[in-house]
Amino acid sequence: MPEIRTRFAPSPTGYLHVGGARTALFNYLYARAKKGKFILRIEDTDQVRSTEASYHQVLDSLRWLGYEWDEGPEVGGAHGPYRQSERLHLYKEHADRLINEKKAYPCFCSTEELDRKKKQREAMGLPYVYDGKCRSLSETEVSEKKAQGLEHTIRFRSSAKEILVDDMVQGSVRFDTALIGDFIIVKSDGFASYNYAVVIDDHLMDITHVIRGVGHLSNTPRQIMVYDAFGWKPPQWAHVSEIVGSDHKKLSKRHGATPITAFRDLGYTARTFNNYMALLGWSSPEGHEYMALEELKSQFDVARCSKSPSMFDVFDLEKAADVDLAQVTIAELEKYLFPKSKLNWLSNQHIRNTSETQYIEEILPFVHSVGVVPEAETNVQNERLVSILLSLRVYLDTLGQIKEYLPDFYAPFAPRAEDFRDSEYFQSENFVSLAEAFLRQIGQMTQGEKLTHDAVKTGIQAVGKEINIKGKPLFMGLRLATTGRLTGLELPVYLELLGRERVVERVTKMVALKKEA
């Protein structure tokens, strides 16, 4: 059996979003699952819209996601070059061959003329098909027109027949080529058009499986005609369902066509994203949902892909009305995410299940950007930072959320009386005696002794005995007195991480606040 070769062929006309990334993922996974090769090809024949910046963005995104390509730009390979703009000679050669064999012909019809005819057909309620005006131009007519300097395109000469697309996902789908007509394979600027270039490239690159969005299904008969004209064998087709936004429409700027890098910047890991995207339209035969890339690489099969579209449902569109989610800042974008999405749940699972070292390594850049931890302490050697980060990880849906928690441990403590006006524990008459008793307990500890988990526990018990309260009032009162908050980590852990000095400072400030009030 020949080696399986898949490819991802983005056009560098924008950034990579979830739709494109998922197509890349499927191609990558299929190649890996079948021990084949994954090829990256850049389709930059649209001279107007392709940009170098976009090219770099796309590669950057692909690298972040971890889809190392076996052949492609910046890696090379035996089937290069891998940018269509560098393969022009190949398209030319093959187009000449088709013209010589009378399977293609030059067309001098102007855009205006074509537009007019198209509108006429539309007005009659008919699908637009090229009328074949230039189909039987004689050679002398052709050279005359060329001599006049008229621009021309090259059209493929199609014949009416039925074409059966045998698709691994869609099944057998029939198309009538009479509805397609003679389509353009070379544009007047001399560049190959998509439906033609893709065939030349896929054939020359020995692509065995074309996995792409179902939007391409109706292009497939055109491509099959080109394969037939050359006498080549078409690849296996696999047209996977499109990903739609919460509005049930194809991902658009407003509805989730957010650059994949935005999710990276928010603090979702590539592991999370790959796992989540794999679940959009595919399911593991074992029914697993939480999966590492390794499992995906061995289990994925395009044959298990669903035909129905899946919704990328992570944004609250009610909130995001009139907002272009592809343009807003990361901080802004975060506000429009559903906090309880499956994506967040998966992300949390991945954060808490990775190794401690990997987690620390990955979160450090985010810690850095919060800006409250002193530069000198922002490293893996800092025990306090590391303990804090490890205690907090169960709470994080994204690495970026660390910014919610860090200031509590590092920023100056400045409680304000109005924040506690409605707190029953702060208003309680026991509050001061409770706080002071705890302060005395800490004071009894020898100089320099660390406020450990256990020391806090025994301290709390002693306070309870002394003041003669127990239960919730004891704990909540002390929590408020020592942290200025009613929620957070388990109290002993919390105080240990805060450290003796900070705890003393907090209790002192809280007591002062209470006495003032």
Partner RNA sequence: GUCCCCUUCGUCUAGAGGUUAGGACUCGGGAUUUUCAUUCCCGCAACAGGGGUUCGAUUCCCCUAGGGGACGCCA
Distance CA 320, CA 322 (A): 6
Q: What is the 3-state secondary structure (H, E, C) of 245-265?
A: CCCCCECCCCCCCCEHHHHHH
Residue 281 interacts with RNA (CB under 7 A)? yes
500 token code pair: 């003796």
Per CB under 7 A, does 283 bind RNA?
yes
Q: Nearest-5° angle of CA 357, CA 362, CA 367?
A: 110
Binding flag, residue 311, RNA (CB under 7 A)? yes
One of 341, 354, 382, 433 touching RNA (CB under 7 A): 341
The region of 23-31, 263-271, 430-438, 483-491 touching RNA under the rule CB under 7 A is 483-491
If 0-12 CB within 10 Å is exposed, 13-18 middle and 19+ buried, where does residue 371 land? middle
* 301 interacts with RNA by CB under 7 A: no
What span, in angstroms and rounded, lies between the C-alpha atoms of 279 and 298?
A: 15
Q: Is 8 in the site for RNA (CB under 7 A)?
A: no
Query: What phi, psi does 213 have (nearest 5°)?
Result: -65, 150
Nearest alpha carbon to residue 514 among 378, 421, 408: 421
Name which of 9 and 266 has its Cβ closer to RNA: 9
CB-wise, 8 or 366, nearer to RNA?
8
Q: Which of residues 176-195 bind RNA (CB under 7 A)?
A: 176, 179, 184, 187-189, 191, 193-195
Query: Contacting RNA (CB under 7 A), which of 64, 70, 99, 151?
Result: 151
The interface with RNA within residues 353-392 (CB under 7 A) comprises none
Q: Which of 9, 10, 21 is nearest to 312 (CA)?
A: 21
Q: Is 313 in the site for RNA (CB under 7 A)?
A: yes
In the complex, least distance from residue 447 CB atom to RNA, rounded to whole angstroms: 28
35 flagged as catalytic: no
Closest approach, Cβ 381 to RNA, in A, equals 27
- Asked if 43 interacts with RNA (CB under 7 A), we say yes
Stretches 41-49, 253-261, 315-323, 380-388: which one binds RNA (CB under 7 A)? 41-49
Q: Which of residues 69-98 bind RNA (CB under 7 A)?
A: 84
Residue from 126, 303, 331, 380 in contact with RNA (CB under 7 A): 126
Residue 395 C-beta: closest distance to RNA, Å: 5
For the bound state, the minimum distance from the C-beta of residue 180 to RNA, rounded and expressed in Å, comes to 7
Would you list the DSSP string of 146-199? Answer: HHTT---EEEE-----EEEEEETTTEEEEEEGGGT-S-EEE-TTSPBPHHHHHH
With CB under 7 A as the rule, give the number of residues binding RNA. Answer: 84
Taking alpha carbons only, the member of 243, 258, 245 closest to residue 332 is 258
142 binds RNA (CB under 7 A): no
How crowded is the C-beta side of 100, counted as CA atoms within 13 Å? 7
Q: Which residues make Cβ contacts (< 8 Å) with residue 414, sequence separation at least 6?
A: 509
Beta carbon nearer to RNA, 11 or 258: 11
**Is 491 a residue that touches RNA (CB under 7 A)?**
yes
- 442-481 binders of RNA (CB under 7 A): 460, 464, 470-472, 474-476, 479
Contact with RNA (CB under 7 A) among 229, 489, 495, 507: 489
Q: If binding is defined by CB under 7 A, does position 416 make contact with RNA?
A: no
- Three-state secondary-structure class, residue 17: strand
Residue 310 phi/psi, 5-degree rounding, is: -110, 145
User: Contact letters (x/-) for RNA, 321-340, by CB under 7 A?
Assistant: -------------------x
C-alpha 11, offset from chain centre: 17
Nearer to RNA, 80 or 181 (CB): 181
Consecutive H or E run containing 390: helix 383-392
Catalytic residue among 92, 117, 253, 297: 253
| Binding test (CB under 7 A) with RNA, winner from 6, 23, 27, 45 | 45
Question: Judged by CB under 7 A, does residue 310 bind RNA?
Answer: yes
CB of 465 to RNA, least distance (A): 10
- Of 202-210, 294-302, 487-495, 502-510, the window that binds RNA (rule: CB under 7 A) is 487-495
- Return the structure tokens found at 114: 């074509």
Q: How far apart are CA 91 and CA 184, in angstroms?
A: 13
DSSP 300: -
Q: Is 223 left (phi over 0), alpha (psi -120 to 50) or beta?
A: alpha
Is the Cβ of residue 250 or residue 509 nearer to RNA in the bound state? 250
**CB-side exposure of 215: number of CA atoms within 13 Å?**
10
Complex with RNA: residue 110 or 298, whichever CB lies closer: 110
Asked if omega into 407 is within 30° of 0 (cis), the reply is: no
| Active-site residue list | 253
